[in-house]
Chains A and B, each alone.
Chain A
């Protein structure tokens, strides 16, 4: 299996621009998670899906962030408009319920 795939691996954008991060979970996994990692706040869960349905989005910072999972093999995390404080590494992870989560390589986002 190819593991969790994320794209892009690096993104540099200017403040105010829209950013879209993409994730392909491991085939057969029915839970998908988006995390953000910063030095100040560590690893934060932003949102997670079970069977393509958003279950808990309480970690989404504000309305500028949105996430979708249109099918079992694809999810997006969108930031519009982006701000410098959104600079972080964004991880996508997938699992089957009650099992370990497998993380993608992450997307390093820099907003200037």
Chain B
């Protein structure tokens, strides 16, 4: 089974509008971490935001927020006030802590296009 599922291959959003990118995860660990990365057309992978499974508050970093719904096993990324520079691929990832392993499981990504 896929550990990270991103069901939206592509999304469009009008500039200055908010957009939500979906991510669901599958784990039996009680302790885990959830991450979002941005990959612009230049190819680099840029860390955006992190949410720990025991964090009670949703993580926020500037215009990025993570809508964490533990019971639904979802970790959606919300980008507010979209900018043209937000056009990129976005990857959701998870780290499972129970095994002590430090690797991330990535989803297939969502390509976001911001329309002027």
Docked CA distance A102–B103 (Å):
12
Q: Mark B76-104, 1 if CB is under 8 A from A, else 0.
A: 00000000000000010001010001111
The answer to whether B47 touches A97 (Cβ under 8 A) is no
Report chain B residues within 8 Å CB of A52.
Answer: none
Docked CA distance A82–B108 (Å):
26
Q: Say yes or no for A56: interface residue by CB 8 A criterion.
A: yes
Report chain A residues within 8 Å CB of B108.
Answer: 42
The answer to whether A48 touches B102 (Cβ under 8 A) is yes
Q: Say yes or no for A55: interface residue by CB 8 A criterion.
A: yes
Given known contacts A42-B108, A100-B35, is B44 in contact with A105 (CB within 8 Å)? yes
Docked CA distance A97–B100 (Å):
9
List 10 interface pairs A-B (beta carbons < 8 Å), by A numbering: A33-B104, A91-B45, A97-B102, A98-B33, A98-B97, A100-B47, A103-B44, A103-B47, A106-B43, A106-B45
Docked CA distance A56–B99 (Å):
12
User: Which residues of B approach A to under 8 Å, CB–CB?
Assistant: 33, 35, 37, 43-47, 50, 91, 95, 97, 101-104, 106-109
Q: Say yes or no for A45: interface residue by CB 8 A criterion.
A: yes
The answer to whether A100 touches B50 (Cβ under 8 A) is yes
Number of residue pairs A-B, CB distance < 8 angstroms? 45
- Given A31-B102, A103-B45, A106-B43, 15 additional A-B pairs, CB 8 A: A42-B106, A42-B109, A48-B102, A55-B102, A91-B45, A95-B102, A97-B102, A98-B95, A100-B35, A100-B47, A103-B37, A103-B46, A105-B43, A106-B44, A108-B43
Say whether chain B's binding surface is mostly helix, strand, loop, or mixed: loop
The answer to whether B109 touches A101 (Cβ under 8 A) is no
Given known contacts A98-B33, A100-B50, is B45 in contact with A56 (CB within 8 Å)? no
Docked CA distance A31–B95 (Å):
13
Q: Which residue on chain A has the smallest CB distance to residue B109?
A: A42
Docked CA distance A48–B102 (Å):
8
The answer to whether A101 touches B33 (Cβ under 8 A) is no
Report chain A residues within 8 Å CB of B37.
Answer: 103
